[in-house]
Amino acid sequence: MAFWTDITNPKRKYNFQVFINGANGKIKNYFAKTATKPSWTKGTAEHAYLNHTFYYPGRLTWGDVQITFVDPEDGDNASEGLVDILEASGYNPPRDANDLSTISKSKAVDALGVVTIQQLDDSGNVLETWNLINAFITECNFGDLDYTSDDLVELQVTIKYDFATFGAGSIPDRLIP
């Protein structure tokens, strides 16, 4: 059978949802506008011998995930949810010289909770699921304002994580430690 008569549906970029179970439920899955899926890079070690170079696989590093949210006006707005995450991570502006509290990884991971990115088919069934493990926000941009624009306010976050797990359809999660 020729490829043009084979009716297979490719995955579509616009069929996805993002779940963040931190932020006291203030960041809804339908606020997500864009999201990058996890990526990884494998380092290499080089060994030179005479007139030859040999390479060996090294450490694996997971790349950051960027998510853009729209910011609604209602009581559960994404800006407030992101500020809640920052405060729950341990950040508080110093009140005096004796205020020594700081952000910690455990508080930042707990504040954000599990981040899940799901890709869907045209019927809304889950095709793949990515869970970011030990994720925390490293950058947050609350958008910009412009009198000449009708655009929605967008929030952009960058998330770092230790590793990701993957699940495809009915296949159990993979890449689980």
Under the banding of pLDDT at 50, 70 and 90, the label for residue 177 is low
CATH 2.30.110 fits 16-35+61-168, yes or no: yes
Give the per-residue pLDDT at 74: 73
CB atoms within 10 A of CB 80: 15
Under a CB-based contact definition with an 8 Å cutoff, are residues 93 and 160 in contact?
A: no
pTM: 0.84
| Per-residue model confidence as pLDDT tens digits over 71-113 | 888 767 888 889 889 999 999 888 888 888 889 999 999 999 9
